[in-house]
């Protein structure tokens, strides 16, 4: 029996962990007793509202976390430090053989730091991504986590290359993207769950879907004002649906930008299945989210990224995604482009999670270095 401690805390991590947990359960169905994998889930508490956390566990049948540390808010250092201390206590108690961390949040870094200081092996899922912008807290989190990890599962070939440039080549695996697995898992369910279009009075292809939460956009009044102005202008063409992240709503109020949102169809964050339903029927998706950029591609919807760079460069190169930053004219210009791009094969075929579990199982049981 191998003991795995999965560390999650933020919305996208619940979604990424869902297919991987499912793959562990599938593995255990056929594995002999001594090859069973025991997964323990630790939730840092970083995201805590019901519709930012619990809803994903329920909807995606993710096993309930055995630990919820209840740590949220404060500065980056404070949040990461408090998590580090409490995660270490859990590691001391559980002594897992492996820790799995996802993506690039403060929870990811705290988990990786805690495990590495106890010489516990770390698997980083969604390794190797780079924006080359060290102003982003996520860039610091992902660089450090990659350098601490024992095994690195990359969603793209570019991610493998990025790690190579930083001298990381051992145990680097191109696994494909677990978010594609999650999208497939949700697609059928979301079809049965598309009442959100009816309840919001939306017609397929007759609305724009937007999400906005990156600190670089929300915490900068000029950028936030500019993006909201662009969405406001777009709402003259078609309704703009904006499920609002808690960070963003706080900043809209703090900067007094409510008048720019008066014409938008704002709503509280929606569940994953509702989000997929909204994505699949949108005319265009406008976002600064990493996950949503790819989901736009998975569902064949043109995307405008409200950032100056992206870690998911293949979405731009294949013509699915346009980088428009926060400039009103660039966003409006990009919104005229409705053509589809070419296929992206490197995200895999929806089996990244199974591949990851298969490789981890082999490595851990053979005690490969
Ligand atoms: C975090 C991640 C970001 C990721 C995003 C996913 C870091 C540095 N950032 O950003 O990489 O893209 O999650 O959504 O880890 N809040 C609530 N309720 C909640 C969750 C958050 O009110 O359920 C509030 C917090 O109290 C805080 C603000 O929203 O005031 C931001 O939350 P935080 O977790 O610090 O960062 P995110 O912007 O969510
Ligand atoms: N998402 C959701 N409800 C929402 C907004 C987003 O379920 O109201 C999902 C979205 O479909 C994607 C994930 O959250 O799977 C992306 O998370 P987020 O944008 O918070 O973070 P990022 O991917 O940028 O790190």
Query: How many angstroms is it from 345 CA to the middle of ligand 1?
Result: 31
Strand 151-154 relative to strand 265-267: parallel, antiparallel, unpaired? Answer: unpaired
In angstroms, rounded to a whole number, what is the distance separating the alpha carbons of residues 56 and 34?
A: 31
Query: For 248-266, what is the mean pLDDT?
Result: 98
pLDDT above 80 (res 289): yes
Q: Specify the higher pLDDT residue, 185 or 119.
A: 119
Beta carbon of 53 within 6 Å of any ligand 2 atom? no
Ligand showing the shortest atom-to-Cα distance for residue 18: 2
Candidates 72, 137, 218: which one to mutate for ligand 1, based on the most atoms within 8 Å of Cβ? 72
Q: What pLDDT band is residue 24 in, cutting at 50, 70 and 90?
A: very high
Average pLDDT value for the chain: 96
User: Which class is 2-177+348-365 in CATH?
Assistant: alpha beta
Task: Extract the tokens encoding 199.
Answer: 């309840």
Considering only CA atoms, which residue is closest to atom 8 of ligand 2?
269
Candidates 12, 193, 307: which one to mutate for ligand 2, based on the most atoms within 8 Å of Cβ? 12
* Percentage of the chain lying above the pLDDT 70 cut: 98
Query: How many angstroms is it from 274 CA to the middle of ligand 1?
Result: 20
**Start and end residues for every CATH 3.40.50.2000 domain found in the chain:** 2-177+348-365, 191-344
**Cα atoms found within 13 Å of the Cα of residue 17, Cβ hemisphere only:** 32
Task: Specify whether the CB–CB gap between 15 and 179 falls below 8 A.
Answer: yes
Considering only CA atoms, which residue is closest to atom 23 of ligand 2?
291
Query: For 23-37, what is the mean pLDDT?
Result: 94
Query: How many angstroms is it from 292 CA to the middle of ligand 2?
Result: 6
Which pLDDT score is estimated for 339? 77
Tell which atom from ligand 2 comes closest to the C-alpha of 138. 25
Angle between helices 272-281 and 290-298 (to 10 degrees): 50
Smallest CA-to-CA distance from 209 within 167, 265, 254, 252 is with 265
> Which tens digit of pLDDT belongs to each residue from 213-237?
999 999 999 999 999 999 999 999 9
pLDDT above 80 (res 274): yes
Q: What pLDDT band is residue 126 in, cutting at 50, 70 and 90?
A: very high
Which pLDDT score is estimated for 338? 75
In angstroms, rounded to a whole number, what is the distance separating the alpha carbons of residues 120 and 118?
A: 5
Which residues are identified as catalytic? 213
pLDDT above 80 (res 366): no
The alpha-carbon radius of gyration of the chain (Å, integer) is: 20
Query: For 188-198, what is the mean pLDDT?
Result: 75
Beta carbon of 302 within 6 Å of any ligand 2 atom? no
Query: For 23-27, what is the mean pLDDT?
Result: 97
Considering only CA atoms, which residue is closest to atom 34 of ligand 1?
46
Q: What pLDDT band is residue 192 in, cutting at 50, 70 and 90?
A: low
In angstroms, rounded to a whole number, what is the distance separating the alpha carbons of residues 130 and 146?
A: 11
Burial 22-57 (b: 16+ CB within 10 A, else e): bbbeebbeebeeeeebebbbbbbbbbbeebbbbbbb
Tell which atom from ligand 1 comes closest to the C-alpha of 106. 15
Query: How many angstroms is it from 291 CA to the middle of ligand 2?
Result: 6
Query: For 44-49, what is the mean pLDDT?
Result: 98
In angstroms, rounded to a whole number, what is the distance separating the alpha carbons of residues 63 and 74?
A: 28
> Which tens digit of pLDDT belongs to each residue from 128-152?
999 999 999 999 999 999 999 999 9
In angstroms, rounded to a whole number, what is the distance separating the alpha carbons of residues 163 and 289?
A: 22
Burial 219-253 (b: 16+ CB within 10 A, else e): ebeebbbbbbbbbbbbbeebbbbbbbbeebbebbe
Which pLDDT score is estimated for 121? 97
Beta carbon of 11 within 6 Å of any ligand 1 atom? yes
Cα 282 to Cα 80, 208, 237, 279, 288: the distances in Å are 36, 6, 13, 5, 16
Q: Which CATH superfamily is domain 191-344 in?
A: Glycogen Phosphorylase B; (3.40.50.2000)
Tell which atom from ligand 2 comes closest to the C-alpha of 279. 11
Beta carbon of 49 within 6 Å of any ligand 1 atom? yes
pLDDT above 70 (res 367): no
Beta carbon of 291 within 6 Å of any ligand 1 atom? no
Smallest CA-to-CA distance from 163 within 145, 181, 137 is with 145
Question: Does residue 209 sit in helix, strand or coil?
Answer: strand
Which pLDDT score is estimated for 240? 98
Query: For 266-294, what is the mean pLDDT?
Result: 96
pLDDT above 90 (res 1): no
Burial 127-142 (b: 16+ CB within 10 A, else e): bbbbbeeeebbbbbbb
DSSP class of 318: T
Q: Specify the higher pLDDT residue, 218 or 365.
A: 218
Which pLDDT score is estimated for 187? 79
Which pLDDT score is estimated for 228? 98
Q: What pLDDT band is residue 337 in, cutting at 50, 70 and 90?
A: confident
Residues, the chain: 369
Considering only CA atoms, which residue is closest to atom 13 of ligand 1?
10
In angstroms, rounded to a whole number, what is the distance separating the alpha carbons of residues 19 and 22?
A: 5
Q: Specify the higher pLDDT residue, 222 or 194.
A: 222
In angstroms, rounded to a whole number, what is the distance separating the alpha carbons of residues 364 and 100?
A: 13
Beta carbon of 275 within 6 Å of any ligand 2 atom? yes
pLDDT above 70 (res 368): no
Beta carbon of 45 within 6 Å of any ligand 1 atom? no
Query: For 309-321, what is the mean pLDDT?
Result: 97
């Amino acid at each position: 029996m191998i003991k795995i401690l999965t560390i999650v805390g933020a919305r996208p991590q619940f979604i990424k962990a869902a297919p991987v947990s499912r793959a562990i359960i599938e593995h255990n169905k056929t594995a002999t007793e001594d090859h069973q994998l025991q997964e323990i889930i630790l939730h840092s508490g970083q995201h805590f509202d019901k519709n930012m956390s619990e809803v994903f566990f329920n909807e995606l049948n993710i096993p309930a976390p055995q630990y919820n540390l209840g740590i949220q808010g404060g500065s980056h250092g404070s949040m990461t430090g408090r998590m580090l201390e409490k995660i270490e206590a859990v590691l001391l108690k559980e002594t897992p053989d492996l820790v799995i961390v996802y993506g690039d949040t403060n929870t990811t870094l705290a988990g990786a730091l805690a495990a590495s200081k106890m010489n516990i092996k770390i698997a980083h899922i969604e390794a190797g991504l780079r924006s080359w912008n060290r102003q982003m807290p996520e860039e610091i989190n992902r660089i450090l986590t990659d350098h601490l990890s024992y095994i690195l599962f990359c969603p793209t070939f570019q991610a493998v290359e990025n790690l190579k440039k930083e001298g990381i080549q051992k145990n680097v695996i191109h696994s494909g993207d677990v978010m594609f697995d999650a999208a497939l898992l949700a697609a059928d369910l979301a079809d049965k769950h598309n009442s959100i279009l009816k309840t919001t009075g939306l017609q397929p292809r007759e609305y724009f879907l937007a999400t906005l939460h990156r600190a670089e956009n929300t915490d900068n009044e000029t950028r936030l004002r500019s993006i909201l102005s662009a969405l406001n202008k777009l709402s003259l063409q078609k309704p703009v649906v904006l499920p609002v992240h808690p960070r963003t709503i706080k900043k809209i109020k703090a900067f007094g930008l409510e008048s720019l949102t008066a014409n938008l169809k704002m709503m509280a964050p929606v569940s994953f299945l509702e989000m997929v339903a909204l994505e699949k029927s949108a005319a265009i998706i406008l976002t600064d989210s990493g996950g949503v950029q790819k989901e736009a591609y998975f569902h064949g919807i043109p995307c405008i990224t409200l950032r100056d760079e992206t870690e998911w460069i293949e979405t731009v190169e294949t013509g699915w995604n346009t980088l428009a930053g926060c400039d009103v004219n660039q966003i409006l210009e990009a919104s005229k482009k409705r053509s589809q791009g070419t296929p992206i094969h490197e995200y895999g075929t929806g089996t990244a999670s199974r591949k990851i579990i298969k490789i981890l199982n082999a490595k851990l049981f053979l005690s490969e270095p």
